[in-house]
Amino acid sequence: MHSVAAQRGQTWLIRGLALLALLMTSWVITAGSAAAADDCVPDSSTGCIAGTIRTAAGDPAEGVELTATGPAGELSASTDDTGAWAMAVEEAGTYEVSLDEATLPEGETLRQPENNPRTVEVELGSQTAALFPLGEPEAGGGTEPSAGAEPTEPAAGEPEGEETAAGTDEAGEASESAGAAGNNRVVQLIVSGLTFGLLLAMAAVGANLIYGTTGLSNFAHGDLVTLGGLVAFTCVRTFGLPLWLGLVVAVLVGGVAGFLLDAGIFGRLRRIGVGTTQQLIVTIGISLAAMNLFLTIYGGNPLPIVGTISERINFGLFSMSMQTIWLLIVAVIVLGLVTVVLQKTRLGRATRAVSDNSALAAASGINVNRIIRGVWVSAAMLAALGGALLALYLGSTRFNFGQVMLLLMFAAITLGGLGSPLGGILGAIVIGLVVELSTLILPNDVRYATALVILIVVLLFRPQGILGRAQRIG
């Protein structure tokens, strides 16, 4: 009876996740994407300079003309009805971007006229922001301390983001929020931390489910995250599919990958009695093989899934892009569904029974192998969706995107409690907040290192985590 109910629940969960991805991610492209005036798609031979110009009141500034001068000669662009603009660059190097102040809407001025023109470094295969905030000129003529500066190019494998990591949107555009009138940097960082934490939780919760049911720390989970982003990129950029459909395909491909990993490798290893330590080493080997395969196929350049810049909404103390708002809604609903399934359904009770004591669960009639198989499939689907949405939020994906996120995911599930999915969600939110708020006192380049510090502290003083139980460790 329990095994039949668990099997039905497993099927329902997989169908529910796919249906939810289909419904919710369709809103992302419908409600969240606003195309730039000249849509620029970075690739191996093209770089992009882009930005969004808004009036002091936050309305789009249409018809503003800009020019860029550099190795590729002189380029020009003008803002569209959303205030967005973009220029395609076919030669990397230093470019000087100028805004024609005569074309600004009546009564509008540059908040930092001394920063016109701006100098930016452009690399092929990436998008660089050149921002020109409007408003009352700043006293003293100083430059913006953080958000007004062009974003630095990330190191290999590091997600793109602005210098303070606050409010990065899905096109890799540095946020204007910290410099916008009325925005508070601390509040902006808190909002960004909560958003990043929820998206990270969606990618990490599956790894915690796998650990809870099998005792295996899956180092290949980061590559399932990468897979989701790369499949979405391929669907949208190579085959021209709508974004929502690309995300659905990414989720389904992730589920297939999870099924093959368990059916082809780890299920067999369990049956022949291979220990979790040896299985952990296998996951490392799979991770290295997958990462090199991704590198061979996609190269080392950042790969933005979309080439558009989403409209930003100012909420007073903080601002968010429309696409980020919809990504946040998707994450909340998906995590809510996972919580309901684990707490209120027979499948969830069976999964928790296997996690607590697999031998006792099997004795009570639960098909342990089917539960574990379902966990692998569901975990991989969540990882793929989380990877695609994280890539949209941070601006791009890369061949090792998931490996960069893996440290943060392990820190989150260790902080929340190994084997506790709800603890993993809580831990991810804490990690997201710490990573973003750390930029108040630390350089942006080392913000992810704070997750490592948290990981070490938790292991020293409370190895079972916030919601974990002490007997899970050792």
The domains of the chain are located at 2-28+191-472, 47-137
CATH 1.10.287 assigned to domain 2-28+191-472? The reply is no
Classify burial at 407, counting beta carbons within 10 Å of its beta carbon; exposed 0-12, middle 13-18, buried 19 or more: middle
What percent of the chain is helix, strand and coil (3-state, nearest 5)?
A: 55, 10, 35
- pLDDT > 70 fraction of the chain, expressed in percent and rounded: 79
pLDDT per position as a tens digit, 93-142: 889 999 998 899 888 888 888 888 888 888 887 778 888 888 877 554 44
Using pLDDT thresholds of 50, 70 and 90, give the confidence band for residue 470. low
Of the CA atoms within 13 Å of residue 263, those in its CB half-sphere come to: 9
Provide DSSP, 45-114: TBEEEEEE-B-TTS-B-TT-EEEEEETTEEEEEE--TTSEEEEEESS-EEEEEEE-GGGSPTT--BS-GG
Enclosing H/E stretch for 229: helix 221-233
What token pair was written down for 435?
């990573």
Residue 27 has pLDDT above 60, yes or no: no
Reported as a single tens digit per residue, the pLDDT across 134-166 is 887 755 444 433 333 333 333 333 344 333 333
Given this chain, do its domains 2-28+191-472 and 47-137 carry the same CATH topology?
no
Q: pTM score, two decimals?
A: 0.67
168 and 393 Cβ atoms separated by less than 8 Å: yes
pLDDT level of residue 284 (50, 70, 90 thresholds): very high
Element (H, E) at 119: strand 118-122
Average pLDDT over residues 195-203: 92
The per-residue pLDDT for range 204-254, each reduced to its tens digit, is 898 989 988 888 989 999 999 999 999 999 999 889 899 999 999 999 999
More confident: 143 or 459: 459
pLDDT band at residue 468 using 50, 70 and 90 as cut-offs: low
| CATH superfamily of this structure's domain 47-137 | Immunoglobulins (2.60.40.10)
Mean predicted confidence (pLDDT) in 408-419: 84
pLDDT score of 18 more than 90: no
Residues 6+ positions from 15 with CB-CB distance below 8 Å? none
